[in-house]
């Protein structure tokens, strides 16, 4: 088996294109095996306390703890067809003194599964830090844009005004939920513990039967050494629902990021013309169309988020089919699904940061949309005012609806919006709202309720938590 790989074979985009180096290192084989050895050392150290293993043996193991040699391990694996046992042989070969006691009493999963829990936690920590950064960035943006009025769109149709800050605060609220979820999942990460082949600790009971240590105490020693709480109950592996919780937490963030990116793609579309993603001065939009300014970061986020969304289901299947005391139908896909999900998430975090930092707000487009569509929204004020003066709400709604349809028809032919006139000249309306008051009522730009205040409240919540 080759030890280096290049572009003449398949390289996953998560190897060379997406994700940070830190995140990739966590999902490297080398790091995994360092964690394995760390656990073997911790196990030996615990066993030393009751004399099952000598100080010299532990020292020998510790001395070679980081001498990962994957090429050698792959040689062993060819015969053994068991990657962890191949690593035991590789490690043992390096440790003349301690080699024989590596893995004493253990089952593969006492090592592998705890290591997996550790690297999932490491990976979650990266995500959490970057999310915190994102939330702070977003908070700054919200504060700046809290009162910046723009049209809101429902059904992709102009609705009423809102503020950019409020719109971002919606994203921030979801993002804060993601943050809290991922922190909770991180805090709840547990290892299988040191429980042997089927989780009963039977082999350790045997091993320790005339020592002063119970299997549970041995487990506590080892798990404290690696700083990982164990599940109370485990079969051969930790309960696979933990993977599902982890992937769901990432898929939740992917969902938030997806909406943000899609909104940006719409708002960057020139007919909308309100937002823009930062663009390198030499960046090529299209090889055929030199004028293109494509929202490629936002599009990429949608693309990767969609992939992440497909992955929790694989974990669900793994957990649901982990029959009796475990089956191995989880193993193959976990090698791809876990790292891919984290690396795709990592890329989303990077791109979302880039977009937030460089987000372009196009004042002209914003004002133009407000001018064109705001007056429709402002009819709600007339509706409210007349309602307060006793006008039947349902009837008035119908009157304004008809005038609006006339107005839209005019605008679709390029004519100016006639709505203000239609309203000001309708006696069924002016009987309840003074004509003179109508122009003032039809100004949309301060029809934003308490959006700024609520946006700022969201920032406060974020600053308290993150």
Only segment of 37-45, 55-63, 128-136, 211-219 that touches a copy of itself (CB under 8 A): 211-219
Only segment of 57-65, 132-140, 327-335, 430-438 that touches a copy of itself (CB under 8 A): 327-335
Tell me whether residue 139 is one of the annotated catalytic residues.
Answer: no
Measured distance CA(93)–CA(13) in Å, rounded? 35
Which tokens in the block code for residue 282?
A: 């030499």
Query: 173 near 459, Cβ under 8 Å?
Result: no
Measured distance CA(195)–CA(223) in Å, rounded? 11
57 lines the binding site for a copy of itself (CB under 8 A) = no
Only segment of 35-43, 129-137, 146-154, 431-439 that touches a copy of itself (CB under 8 A): 146-154
Which one of 2, 155, 209, 287 is the catalytic residue?
155
212 lines the binding site for a copy of itself (CB under 8 A) = no
437 lines the binding site for a copy of itself (CB under 8 A) = no
Only segment of 56-64, 132-140, 387-395, 431-439 that touches a copy of itself (CB under 8 A): 387-395
Chain center to CA of 185: 12
90 lines the binding site for a copy of itself (CB under 8 A) = no
Q: Which of residues 103-142 bind a copy of itself (CB under 8 A)?
A: 103-108
Output DSSP code: residue 229.
P
Extract the runs of DSSP E, i.e. beta strands, from 116-267: 149-154, 157-163
311 lines the binding site for a copy of itself (CB under 8 A) = yes
Measured distance CA(33)–CA(320) in Å, rounded? 28
Measured distance CA(154)–CA(156) in Å, rounded? 5
- Interface pick for a copy of itself out of 36, 60, 141, 161 (rule CB under 8 A): 161
Tell me whether residue 286 is one of the annotated catalytic residues.
Answer: yes
271 lines the binding site for a copy of itself (CB under 8 A) = yes
Q: Which of residues 412-431 bind a copy of itself (CB under 8 A)?
A: 412-414, 419
Task: Determine the size of the site formed for a copy of itself (CB under 8 A).
Answer: 212
Residue 138 to residues 141, 230, 345, 357, 365: CA-CA distances in angstroms? 5, 36, 18, 9, 22
- Closest approach of a copy of itself to the CB of residue 39, in Å: 13
Measured distance CA(375)–CA(423) in Å, rounded? 11
Measured distance CA(268)–CA(295) in Å, rounded? 7
- Interface pick for a copy of itself out of 156, 212, 436, 464 (rule CB under 8 A): 156
- Interface pick for a copy of itself out of 41, 42, 84, 349 (rule CB under 8 A): 84
451 lines the binding site for a copy of itself (CB under 8 A) = yes
- Closest approach of a copy of itself to the CB of residue 445, in Å: 11
241 lines the binding site for a copy of itself (CB under 8 A) = yes
- Interface pick for a copy of itself out of 10, 212, 436, 464 (rule CB under 8 A): 10
Q: In 10 A of CB 97, how many CB atoms?
A: 14
- Interface pick for a copy of itself out of 58, 61, 359, 458 (rule CB under 8 A): 458
Sequence-distant contacts of 56-62: CB under 8 A, at least 24 apart = 56/97, 56/98, 57/95, 57/97, 57/98, 57/100, 57/101, 58/98, 59/97, 59/98, 60/95, 60/96, 60/97, 60/98, 60/99, 61/37, 61/91, 61/95, 61/98, 61/102
Query: 374 near 448, Cβ under 8 Å?
Result: no
Are β-strands 157-163 and 149-154 bridged in parallel, bridged antiparallel, or unpaired? antiparallel
- Interface pick for a copy of itself out of 41, 189, 213, 343 (rule CB under 8 A): 343
Which one of 286, 321, 331, 435 is the catalytic residue?
286
- Closest approach of a copy of itself to the CB of residue 289, in Å: 5
Measured distance CA(330)–CA(317) in Å, rounded? 8
Half-sphere exposure of 314 (CA within 13 A, CB side): 20
Only segment of 38-46, 59-67, 130-138, 267-275 that touches a copy of itself (CB under 8 A): 267-275
- Interface pick for a copy of itself out of 268, 341, 345, 352 (rule CB under 8 A): 268
Catalytic residue positions?
A: 155, 286
């Amino acid at each position: 088996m080759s030890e280096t790989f290049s572009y003449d074979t398949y390289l996953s985009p998560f190897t060379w294109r997406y994700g940070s180096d830190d995140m990739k290192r966590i999902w490297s084989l080398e790091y995994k095996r360092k964690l394995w050895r760390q656990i073997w050392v911790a196990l030996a150290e615990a066993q030393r306390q009751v004399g099952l293993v000598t100080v010299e043996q532990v020292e020998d193991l510790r001395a070679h703890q980081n001498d990962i040699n994957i090429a050698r391990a792959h040689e062993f694996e060819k015969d053994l067809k068991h990657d962890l046992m191949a690593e035991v042989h590789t490690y043992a070969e390096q440790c003349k003194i301690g080699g024989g006691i590596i893995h004493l009493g253990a089952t593969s999963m006492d090592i592998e599964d705890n290591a997996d829990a550790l690297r999932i936690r490491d990976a979650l920590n990266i995500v959490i830090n970057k999310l915190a950064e994102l939330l702070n960035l977003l908070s700054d943006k919200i504060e700046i844009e809290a009162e910046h009025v723009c049209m809101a769109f429902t059904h992709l149709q102009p609705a009423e005004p809102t503020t950019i800050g409020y719109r971002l605060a919606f994203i921030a609220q979801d993002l804060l939920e993601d943050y809290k979820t991922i922190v909770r999942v991180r805090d709840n990460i547990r290892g299988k513990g040191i429980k042997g082949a089927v989780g009963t600790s039977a082999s350790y009971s045997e091993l320790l039967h005339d020592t002063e240590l119970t299997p549970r105490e041995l487990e506590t020693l080892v798990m404290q050494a690696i700083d990982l709480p164990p599940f109370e109950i485990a079969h051969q592996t930790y309960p696979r629902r933990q993977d599902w919780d982890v992937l769901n937490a990432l898929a939740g963030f992917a969902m938030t990021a997806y909406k943000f990116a899609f909104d940006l793609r719409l708002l960057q579309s020139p007919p909308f013309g309100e937002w823009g993603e930062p663009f390198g001065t030499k960046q090529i939009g299209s090889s055929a169309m030199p004028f293109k300014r494509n929202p490629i970061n936002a599009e990429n986020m949608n693309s990767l988020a969609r992939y992440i969304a497909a992955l929790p289901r694989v974990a669900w299947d793994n957990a649901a089919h982990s029959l009796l005391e475990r089956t191995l139908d989880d193993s193959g896909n976990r090698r791809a699904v876990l790292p891919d999900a984290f690396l795709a998430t990592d890329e989303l975090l990077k791109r979302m940061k880039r977009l937030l930092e460089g987000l372009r707000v196009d004042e002209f487009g914003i004002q133009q949309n407000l001018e064109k569509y705001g007056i429709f929204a402002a009819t709600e004020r007339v509706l409210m005012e007349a309602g307060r003066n006793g006008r039947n709400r349902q009837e008035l709604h119908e009157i304004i609806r008809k005038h609006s349809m006339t107005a839209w028809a005019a605008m679709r032919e390029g004519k100016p919006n006639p709505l203000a006139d239609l309203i000001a000249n309708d006696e069924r309306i002016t009987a309840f709202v003074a004509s003179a008051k109508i122009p003032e009522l039809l100004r949309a730009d301060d029809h934003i309720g308490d959006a700024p205040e609520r946006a700022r409240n969201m920032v406060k919540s974020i600053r308290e938590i993150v």
